[in-house]
Amino acid sequence: MVLERLKRYIYLVMGWEMPIINHDRYILEQKIIPYFVAHEEFAKVLFVGCAHYTKHYEKWFTKKEYWTIELNPMKKIYGAKNHIVGSLSDLKLHFPDNVFDLIICNGVFGWGLNEREEVEKAFGGCFDCLRQGGVLIIGWNDMPESKPFPLETCESLSQFQPYFFPPLSTSQYVNLEDKTDQHVYNFYVKPVSNPEPEFGSLLTPHS
């Protein structure tokens, strides 16, 4: 444990990356993040949860306004320049409505964000803080010991619509090739309200 902490410190000081090499990180780092980095309309991004293996994500978002939020103050060193020490359930204490284009919440539901009331508050806050057309991504483990309750029963998520993610051709990614990999990615979008019709559109055109 001491050697591992020393290794992380050295890597942090030197600016070296310490990625986790597994399938779900491959999907996140090689499929999900590059897609949103490449699209200019996703200009303000919030990444939920920080660790030594997420520190290097900030450099991928150098052309974006990139924020991180993490409850553990000790992990601030792994956060972005724009960092909030706090829980996702308190998101609305830190940001106004309609401010983010993208929120990535991976490995948080079932890993600290467990109580239903806190989960509802957290994802409800995500809905409010996303602009119309903004995207929420939730990565979670579909295992009894890592799932406090079925995600589909979360009422605050019912405000969203499924977001079809082109690189994976789905709104919910499950690794069908490896049944031992229980990590799932759900993609949601905040619906765009129908604009008010212009006055002229209410008039019947002359024949």
Secondary structure of 63-110 as H, E, C letters: CCEEEEEECCHHHHHHCCCEEEECCHHHHHHCCCCCCEEEEEEECCEC
pTM for the model stands at 0.86
C-alpha 143/C-alpha 140 separation (Å) is 9
Pairwise CA distance, residues 156 & 14, whole Å:
41
**Does residue 61 sit in helix, strand or coil?**
coil
Does some domain include residue 201?
A: no
- Asked if residue 168 is part of any domain, the answer here is yes
In a domain, 203, yes or no: no
Domain assignment present for 9: no
Residue 207 has pLDDT above 70, yes or no: no
Quick check: is 206 in a domain? no
Classify residue 106: in a domain, yes or no: yes
User: Which two tokens mark 133?
Assistant: 């057309």
- The secondary structure of 1-41, three-state, reads CHHHHHHHHHHHHHCCCCCCCCHHHHHHHHHHHHHHHHCCC
Domain housing 47 = 18-193
CATH number, domain with residue 145:
3.40.50.150
Residue 1 inside a domain? The answer is no
12 pLDDT more than 80: no
What's phi and psi for 167, nearest 5 deg?
-60, -25
pLDDT of residue 201: 42
Q: Which residue has the higher pLDDT, 11 or 99?
A: 99
User: Tens digits of per-residue pLDDT, 113-125?
Assistant: 999 999 999 999 9
Residues 42-60, mean pLDDT to the nearest whole number? 96
| Those residues with Cβ within 8 angstroms of residue 109's Cβ, 6 or more apart along the chain or in another chain | 119, 138, 140, 147, 148, 151
Q: What number is the average pLDDT over the span 149-155?
A: 96
Confidence of residue 5 (pLDDT cuts 50, 70, 90): low
Compute the Cα dihedral for 196, 44, 100, 166 and give only its sign: positive
Counting the structural domains of the chain, the total is 1
Of 16, 191, 202, 185, the C-alpha closest to 105 is 185
Residue 125 has what pLDDT?
98
Q: Assess if residue 11 is contained within a domain.
A: no
Structure-block tokens of residue 131:
């602009």
Query: For the residues 46-50, what does the mean pLDDT come to?
Result: 97
pLDDT (mean) for 13-17? 52
Helix (H, G, I), strand (E, B) or coil at 123: helix
Q: Is 170 exposed, middle or buried (0-12, 13-18, 19+ CB in 10 A)?
A: middle
Of 199 and 72, the one with more pLDDT: 72
Helix, strand or coil, per DSSP, at residue 122: helix
pLDDT in tens, 67-111: 999 999 999 999 999 999 999 999 999 999 999 999 999 999 999
pLDDT digits (tens, 9 = 90+) for 161-185: 999 999 999 999 999 887 778 999 9
